[in-house]
Chain A
Amino acid sequence: MKKIILGFFGIASFCSYGQLQGGTVTGNMESNVQYLNTDTLIGATAPDQKVVANTYMNINYSVGKFRAGARFESYLPAIAGYPAFYSGSGMPYKYVQYAGNQITVTAGNFYEQFGSGLIFRSYEERALGLDNAMEGASIRFSPLKGIDLKGVIGRQRVNFFEGQRFLSEGLVRGLDGSINLNEVIPGFSDSKFKISIGSSIVSRYQATNNDTLILPKNVGSYGGRIDMRYSRFYLNAEYIHKDNDPNEQNNWIYNTGHGAIVNMGYSQKGLGIILTAKSLDNMTFRSDRNTIGNQAFINYLPATSNNHTYNLAGTLYPYATNLNGEVAYQLDILYKIPKKSTLGGKYGTDVHLNVSVATDYERDTEAANWEKNRVSYIAQPFAMTDSIFNFDFNLHVKRKLNKKWKASAHYYHFIYNNDVNEVTKLAKHYITSDIGVVDVSYKINRKHSIRAEFQGLFTEKDRGNWATAVIEYTISPKWFFTIMDQYNYGHPDERLQIHYLLGAFGYTHNSSRFMFMYGKQREGILCVGGVCRPVPATNGLTFTFTQSF
């Protein structure tokens, strides 16, 4: 604790010194405070403390080519639904950096990504309680324009308990290189054909402590990527191989793993088409082989589906990548019906169609020899089965009617496999649902606007049908007021046909913002970037303050 306080004053004096010397301090803070009530009907339980709070503050200081920074975090205790291992206050993130013209060196904590992240990505997603920051050193070197080399070494943050951050047992080492051929090859820079290539290798070292299995101490993973564009067509792909890595997630099998992502598309003004294909088998790569859940990931396995933002579409049956592996495809078509046409209207009309499907992949157990080498099956990339994990069809139409009115309509059809990623105990197998949304906004005058949203979700399973209405009134640039009612009118148990009524208002001053929210929130799934976390039902007051400086 003393160390933290010393560090705190150290940085504070460093910052004030910096201001004298013409350095720059930037940063941000966020505070979420909840006062919780118990509400047995919706299943909300207040903790003994009644008041819970998460607070974060980042400070970066830079002068010339040097930069240093730290993040304070405090969970006193953590807000409802946040992972239980977040508790106490401390400074788990601090770094110093030199950023020259060709070389950048960082010591301490850092975030980094190689290629698409399929082999290595350390990042934070505060809303979900995800943070796998590296603690060690990184270097980035650009010997020539168009060539970029990166190296990282360190352990990952996996835990923050009683003010102490805990690091992974495994040590992560990685190298990555990328070459933009248009910039490197003389005379190629003006070509319509653009191409860049890259390659990475990442390895984990972890001591072994298993009596029955001979585990590999070093597990390697490597692969390459390519990015090409010709005129309006483009294609990018990455393939990563992972050596055998027996771990808790894969049930201690000695199979190798693979990950492949391919994006191809066509894009011109007013029209965009993109097809994504993804194949993952045994590709969870963690800095501790004994860990499961969302912690200690070395790599990032993105979900292949649209990120839905309307409440009923985004939080009841959301899809996240299956960690054991899957084959998935996604198609997006975006089109702007031109303005001043019969169909497009005066300002044009935006249409977006998105379809995605994810299935299990084929495991050939005949070809494997379990007795001999503990390899339990052989998998071929992109070999689908008819066992669907998730199917998602959605269509969006958006139009500006005149200077005052805007409207949009949205339709979703989901088939969700609740046996594979369980989101509810009330249903088995497939949950099919249809969702409709209408969103209308009206600009009253320069400063005042009003917006209304009506959503309906229809399903014969789980908790039945839902209806949601939202009304939002905003006064630019300072105020907003919102009322939302979610009504579970189709619940099979009549006592549980509940209104979840929630009111909120907020105030913005330049880059500071606070918000008060009072009412009932149903339990649901909070997803950011394809990673999801269940959040419990709550009843009470939430205060949020965010600021950047």
Chain B
Amino acid sequence: MKKISLLFALAIGVIGGSSFINTDDGGVGKTMPSVMLENLDGDQINSADLENGGNPIVISFWATWCKPCRLELNTIMEEYEAMNDSLGLGIKLVAVSIDDERNKSKVRPVVDAEGWDYDIWLDTNSDLKRAMGVNYPPQTFVLDGNGKIIYSHVGFVPGDEEDLYDVLGYEPE
């Protein structure tokens, strides 16, 4: 029994390890899974229907209680207008809140008080989080114009936004 358990743990380790070495990780090359969830207006959304007229989309998993998540979304917000207005890149950011019922009602006031113009989705029971293989927030994905995931990054520290801008083809002043 013990031996089998060890083998089993080893198998998990090998699979995990090999995918770590493989650079195509974090769902890169895949498309959005189909999960039903709500936006902030209470409308039903199917995540697989997400599109942005051939322009890139950023998907960012966050929660009201997650400090690095809010730092990331605040940092990107500083460039969001410039990205879309002056450069006309047409980038859309969807911030997927994984707040459960305890904090779900705080999502709208937080979004408004922070002054975010993002699309907000409510993943109250973590269905999309599970489907996209997210362990803990923040985790950020970029979808190209064809809906293919081309970038995935877990965690946020100052400076990480620059990598994201590189992927999006945006150069801040």
Interface size class of chain B, counting residues whose CB lies under 8 Å from the partner chain? 35 or more
Is A4's beta carbon under 8 Å from chain B? yes
Stretch at the interface among A36-44, A115-123, A243-251, A483-491: A115-123
In the complex with contacts A26-B30, A443-B158, A307-B133 CB distance below 8 A = no
Shortest CB distance A478–B (Å): 9
From B153, which residue of chain A is reached at the shortest CB distance?
A510
Residues on the B chain within 8 Å of A350, using CB: 113-114
| B139: contacting residue among A60, A194, A229, A548, CB under 8 A | A548
Chain A, 258-274, CB within 8 A of any chain B CB: 261, 263, 265, 267-274
Decide if B12 touches A57 in the complex (CB within 8 Å): yes
CA distance A510 to B76 in the complex (A): 18
Chain B, 101-137, CB within 8 A of any chain A CB: 101-103, 105-106, 108-110, 112-115, 124-127, 130-136
Decide if A60 touches B131 in the complex (CB within 8 Å): yes
Q: How many A-B residue pairs have CB under 8 A?
A: 234
CA distance A307 to B70 in the complex (A): 14
Chain B, 131-162, CB within 8 A of any chain A CB: 131-136, 139, 151-155, 157-160, 162
Is B54's beta carbon under 8 Å from chain A? no
In the complex with contacts A529-B102, A548-B154, A53-B9 CB distance below 8 A = yes
Shortest CB distance A391–B (Å): 18
Decide if B9 touches A513 in the complex (CB within 8 Å): no
Decide if A5 touches B26 in the complex (CB within 8 Å): no
Decide if A476 touches B30 in the complex (CB within 8 Å): no
| B102: contacting residue among A72, A194, A234, A530, CB under 8 A | A530
Residues on the A chain within 8 Å of B1, using CB: 1, 88, 163
Residues on the A chain within 8 Å of B159, using CB: 443, 446-449, 474-477
CA distance A57 to B14 in the complex (A): 12
Residues on the B chain within 8 Å of A156, using CB: none
| A547: contacting residue among B8, B16, B36, B42, CB under 8 A | B16
| B126: contacting residue among A111, A196, A546, CB under 8 A | A111
Is B87's beta carbon under 8 Å from chain A? no
From A472, which residue of chain B is reached at the shortest CB distance?
B157
CA distance A339 to B144 in the complex (A): 34
Decide if B112 touches A74 in the complex (CB within 8 Å): no
| A548: contacting residue among B23, B25, B126, CB under 8 A | B25
Chain B, 1-57, CB within 8 A of any chain A CB: 1, 4-6, 8-9, 11-13, 15-16, 19-20, 23, 25-28, 30-31, 33-34, 36, 41-44
Chain A, 141-164, CB within 8 A of any chain B CB: 142, 145-146, 148, 163
Residues on the A chain within 8 Å of B171, using CB: none
Is B81's beta carbon under 8 Å from chain A? no
Number of interface residues of A (CB under 8 A): 96
Residues on the B chain within 8 Å of A547, using CB: 16, 19-20, 25, 135
Decide if A24 touches B25 in the complex (CB within 8 Å): no
| B5: contacting residue among A88, A261, A441, CB under 8 A | A88
Is B79's beta carbon under 8 Å from chain A? no
CA distance A265 to B112 in the complex (A): 12
Q: Which residues in A have some Cβ–Cβ distance to B below 8 Å?
A: 1, 4-5, 8, 24, 26-31, 53, 55, 57-58, 60, 62, 67, 72, 74, 76, 88-89, 99, 104, 111-113, 116-118, 121, 123-124, 140, 142, 145-146, 148, 163, 180, 183, 194, 196, 227, 229, 234, 236, 261, 263, 265, 267-274, 276, 300, 302-304, 307, 309, 332, 334-336, 350, 352, 441, 443, 446-449, 474-477, 480, 508-513, 529-530, 545-549
Given known contacts A477-B159, A510-B151, what 7 new A-B pairs fall within 8 Å (CB)? A4-B8, A26-B133, A307-B65, A336-B114, A508-B155, A512-B25, A548-B27
For the complex of A and B, 6 pairs with smallest distance between CB atoms? A272-B109, A476-B159, A511-B26, A334-B113, A548-B133, A474-B157
The 24 listed contacts between A and B (C-beta, < 8 Å) are: A5-B8, A31-B16, A53-B9, A57-B15, A60-B33, A113-B101, A113-B125, A142-B44, A234-B108, A271-B112, A274-B109, A300-B100, A334-B113, A446-B162, A476-B158, A477-B160, A510-B28, A511-B133, A511-B139, A512-B154, A530-B102, A548-B132, A548-B152, A549-B19
